[in-house]
Chain A
Amino acid sequence: MSRTPGNRGSRADSRVVTGSELTPQRREETAAVLARDVRVRRGTAEALRGVSFSIAAGRITGLLGPSGGGKSTLMRAIAGVQAKVTGELRVLGVAGGGAAVRRQLGYRPQAPSVYEDLTVAENLRYFAAIRAARIDGLLERVGLGGQTHQLARDLSGGQRARVSLAAALVGRPRLLLLDEPTVGLDPLLRRELWQLFAELAGEGATLLVSSHVLDEARHCHDLLLLREGQLVAQLTPSELIARTGTHDMDEAFVRLIEQR
């Protein structure tokens, strides 16, 4: 692991909720994702109600918040599959998506979206063929080396979730959007995956990882806290701890909301 997550940011010394040591302007220039007043209408309600933030390249950004807060909606918007998005959303320097962005994007939807009637290897081979990439070592990296020739429908839920994760990692995308990749996994496996994410960030990838387990914040370099379609805060884990005076992430989140 090239860096220790969670302790990169400076202490928060103002009420302005911004992230790391970079100046705001510098952040925007190097941002992998830049959002300004992004709104998304889903059904009759607004799932995102004007969020603005930037995601730094080469870092792990945790997208945290309660269920229904708009995490998946935001992921879908960045991935370019969400309809009715307004505001400015630049992904890898490009607004409005397009093939060039898709070539550098790995999206792992919340539901494990793999072909149940294909084996693990066949699934990955297909996604690799689409990206003209190779899959060597990827299954071992997500701990599925022993399941290569098993049909996806015969896997356990957690195993299928990891096939879905591996499918997003094929071809070493520059930007990884991982929607709840660790949900339902045991603590040991969760830790291994977070280690993998740190390695990927060390290799230069930008990761946006969502979770409604606030405790996972400790594995991230930056945090986006989303609640009821609005951004509660963008800050680093150490800033969160400093601002709220607690190491208990659930408690920290509650205090942050009360502070507002």
Chain B
Amino acid sequence: MRRSAARTLATCLRVLTQLRHDPRTVVLMILVPCMLETLLRLIYAHHRASFDQAGAPLLAIFPLTTVFVVTSIALLRERIGGTLERLLTTPLGRLELLGGYALAFGLVATAQATIASALTLGPLGLHVRGSDVVLVVLAVSVALLGMGLGLLASAFARSEFQVVQFLPATILPQLLLCGLLVARQRMPAGLHALSDVLPLSYAVDGMHHLTLQPGAGGAVWGDVVIVLAFAAGALVLGAGTLRRRTP
């Protein structure tokens, strides 16, 4: 048990060290959400209500995209570079490897969500009736979802070109269907049903609830649980793609 925790932690530290050697990526991950929230605020300078509507959901979408890209490329590199194969010949377990990644990217996503939320709720003046803490919790859950999806994408890609294409292929449809552009209830029945099985819909629903309801309502926690369930499902499927024996 202790050995297993030590290996998970070592993997987390290794991933964070890799990020530390790439400060530009870290700065981009933190700054881009802040920049986009600021831009949103400027676009809606005369439509405060619209900013309040879109500001919170956007906070849930950033971690999904950034963590998806970072995870899928990091794991693709491990697969192509042979380090994954090497790790699989050591005592490191597959779940320990993924646990290490989840911890590392969970930390990064927490930092990203906290800073972006602080800016958006503070200086930009977003009105959210719900709890700030739950907002960050939801954002981190979405980050874990991004990790699971990124892990899955890395298994189906042979090159960085391919894996980056999975971002528009898997995330953009969810963005269109999640209720940000058109409320899900007002979509054609088929699309509404489709949006019901897409995880981003629940993340955005959760953010809407946080915007409108005071406190940390039960509805929000329901959404958090659903997003986490999707994340767990994606991680389990992704773990299945980390085969020890390969052709």
Contacts and interface: CB of A to CB of B under 8 A. Distances in A.
- The answer to whether A and B come from one shared complex is yes
Contact of A80 (B81, B83, B89): B89
Given A118-B17, A129-B6, A105 B89 contact: yes
Interface residues of B, number: 28
Contacts of B11: 126, 130
Nearest to B84: A113
Contacts of A79: 89
Nearest to B9: A129
Interface string B220-247: 0000000000000000000000011111
Contact of B85 (A102, A113, A115): A113
B90 A126 contact: no
B82 A109 contact: yes
Contacts of B103: none
Interface in A177-231: none
Given A103-B91, A118-B21, A126-B14, A81 B246 contact: yes
Interface in B1-36: 3, 6-7, 10-11, 13-14, 17-18, 21-22
Given A113-B81, A131-B91, A42 B86 contact: no
Interface in A114-170: 114-118, 122, 126-127, 129-132, 151, 167
A83 B82 contact: no
B92 interface: yes
Nearest to B21: A117
B121 interface: no
A74 to B, nearest CB: 14
Given A80-B245, A81-B245, A126-B14, A113 B82 contact: yes
B86 A113 contact: yes
B87 interface: yes
Given A80-B244, A84-B247, A102 B90 contact: yes
10 contacts: A42-B247, A82-B245, A83-B243, A99-B93, A109-B85, A109-B86, A113-B82, A113-B86, A117-B21, A129-B13
Top 4 nearest A-B pairs (CB, nearest first) are A113-B82, A129-B10, A83-B245, A107-B89
